[in-house]
């Protein structure tokens, strides 16, 4: 059983690492590509959230790369400086992706991200304690917590898009409001950046302490 847990844990880390590499490559490719809508990430988040939510969220700028997120309890969109001020394709996609979670129909998503983040933090504590005590059972319990966090993030992704058609519906506002231009050229990038919560899972818990 312990061997199975270790294999699943390593596979989980491998998937997260590949996702992170993919997001990093997209970042390098898109950060210098201007968004022809000329809208900043702040403006895109504001337009999107206004379309989705009856309660206008606060949109604030925070330091930290890949830590953009929506805090459901406080109704606050937190964007990195790059995403908040940026008028490039990357900034637009990140701001739009985060703003989608202001949709009341998606309230499970930010709650799920928070649960996953705290599971990751708990897994680090268990693994550290287990290593200090030289107790493999505690270490493997930490592995299980981390795997559960990963499963939650994958589940959240599946809720809002089991088919390509459902996934594309998530980006109707971006297309209709011409928030990200050219849209068709960046449609696949929109979908791929949806993996960002998986790619940044190992340190997403930092969001709740800043």
User: What residues does each domain of the chain span?
Assistant: 2-209
Quote the CA–CA distance of 18 and 27 in Å, as a whole number: 14
pTM for the structure as a whole: 0.91
pLDDT, averaged across the chain:
93
Band (pLDDT 50/70/90 cuts) for residue 210 is low
Residue 74: how many CB atoms within 10 A of its CB? 10
pLDDT at 167 over 80: no
User: Could you tell me whether strands 58-62 and 76-80 are parallel, antiparallel, or unpaired per DSSP bridges?
Assistant: parallel
First-to-last C-alpha distance (Å) of the chain: 38
**Could you report the per-residue pLDDT of 81-94, keeping only the tens digit for each?**
999 999 999 999 99
Picking from 49, 59, 50, the residue whose alpha carbon sits closest to that of residue 96 is 49
């Amino acid at each position: 059983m312990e061997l199975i847990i270790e294999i699943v844990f390593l596979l989980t880390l491998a998937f997260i690492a590949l996702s992170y590499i993919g997001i990093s490559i997209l970042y390098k490719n898109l950060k210098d590509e201007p968004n022809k809508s000329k809208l900043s990430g702040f403006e895109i988040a504001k337009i999107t959230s206004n379309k989705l939510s009856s309660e206008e969220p606060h949109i604030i700028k925070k330091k930290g790369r890949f830590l953009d997120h929506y805090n459901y309890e406080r109704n606050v969109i937190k964007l990195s400086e790059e995403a908040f001020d940026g008028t490039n394709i990357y900034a637009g996609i990140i701001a739009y992706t985060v703003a989608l979670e202001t949709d009341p129909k998606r309230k499970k998503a930010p709650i799920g991200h928070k649960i996953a983040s705290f599971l990751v933090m708990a897994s680090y504590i268990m693994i550290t304690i287990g290593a200090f005590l030289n107790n493999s059972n505690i270490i493997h319990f930490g592995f299980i917590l981390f795997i559960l966090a990963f499963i939650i993030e994958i589940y959240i992704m599946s809720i809002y898009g089991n088919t390509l058609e459902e996934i594309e519906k998530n980006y109707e506002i971006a297309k209709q409001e011409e928030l990200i231009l050219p849209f068709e050229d960046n449609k696949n990038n929109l979908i791929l950046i949806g993996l960002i919560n998986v790619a940044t899972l190992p340190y997403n818990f930092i969001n709740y302490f800043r």
